[in-house]
Amino acid sequence: MVQLHVKQGDESQFLFSTTVDVSIETLVQQVTEIYNGRLKVDRICSEIPELADHGITLPPNMQGLTDDQVTDLKLKDEWEEKCIPSGGSEFKKDKIGRRNGHAPNDKMKTVLKTTMEEAKALISKKQVQANVVVTMETVKEALDQLRGAVMIVYPMGLPPHDPIRMELENQEDLSGTQASLQVIPEEEAQLWWASKEMQRGKKLQDYIGKNEKTKIVVKLQKRGQGAPAREPVVSEEEQKQMMLHYYRRQEQLKKLDEAEDDSYLQSEWSDRQALKRQFQGLTNIRWGPK
């Protein structure tokens, strides 16, 4: 299997396994799907702590309003009584007025936050360092874990306007958000390797040959962004090791310089005139009274 180290810019994303026979069009579609799926998991995980601490999202027309404003406008959250967390709720007001404040109890909070950490670990960028390959099945497993945890805590489900439910049902609207800039539509995606764009209509073997035991670094980006920056000849880790070696060498040379002591020149065994003085009887001469 060919192993692809997928990057976005200079940042590692995940490892992906494929074959040399795969078409570039299929490869781009598979890699982009995993990339966007990981973003979805991250977005849900960013909302889970808010759900655990402050309960479900208020209807859009009530978000950001004070209690007095809600009363004056005679607004009511019809989902408050429908979406009650298992084991009852504990009130913790949301200072930004985005959620209703009826948070799950500590046990249910633990379910949500523990599952969130497990899901994040599955698609973490640290999997690259651990040499763990990520597939679309991995992404689906993370989403299923999050969906299951939400169902345990909220058996009646979340309101249709809650971002977590919208994400899980693929109904999210990211327009106008920073998250929308990260998503790469499949039709706009490009893969680059060795400063060359991998053209749709070709196969992977047209670029790397027919050796299945190949590892390459590819970069994923949107069309129109130009060629990505070249990979450095020396990796960051290799550079650190080189600097460490240089520092140690400098310390060794410093110690050798300090050890260059010429005091031995005053020693008797180094005196070139010692034998001559011995024959002349000039050794062990003392001046002054005994």
Q: Which residue has the tokens 């960028």?
A: 125
Tell me the percentage of the chain whose pLDDT exceeds 70. 88
115-125 pLDDT, tens digit per residue, is 999 999 999 99
Q: Is the pLDDT of residue 173 over 60?
A: yes
Q: Which residue has the tokens 């009511």?
A: 76
Residue 158 has a pLDDT of: 95
Residue 49 has a pLDDT of: 96
Q: Which residue has the tokens 């960051």?
A: 236
Name residues whose C-beta falls within 8 Å of residue 71's C-beta, 6 or more positions apart in sequence: none
12-27 pLDDT, tens digit per residue, is 999 999 999 999 999 9
Supply the mean pLDDT for the chain. Answer: 88
Q: How confident is the model at residue 134 (pLDDT cuts 50, 70, 90)?
A: very high
Q: How confident is the model at residue 287 (pLDDT cuts 50, 70, 90)?
A: low
How many other CB atoms are there within 10 angstroms of residue 13's CB atom? Answer: 23
Question: What are the sequence ranges of the domains in the chain?
Answer: 2-222, 230-260
Q: How confident is the model at residue 165 (pLDDT cuts 50, 70, 90)?
A: very high
DSSP SS3 for 103: strand
Range 126-130 average pLDDT: 94
Q: Are 222 and 184 in contact (CB under 8 A)?
A: yes
Q: CA-CA distance, 60 to 73, in Å (whole number)? A: 14
How many other CB atoms are there within 10 angstroms of residue 29's CB atom? Answer: 15
CA 148, chain centre distance (Å): 24
> In this structure, which long-range contacts are made by residues 251-254, counting pairs with CB atoms below 8 Å and at least 24 apart in sequence?
none
pTM: 0.78
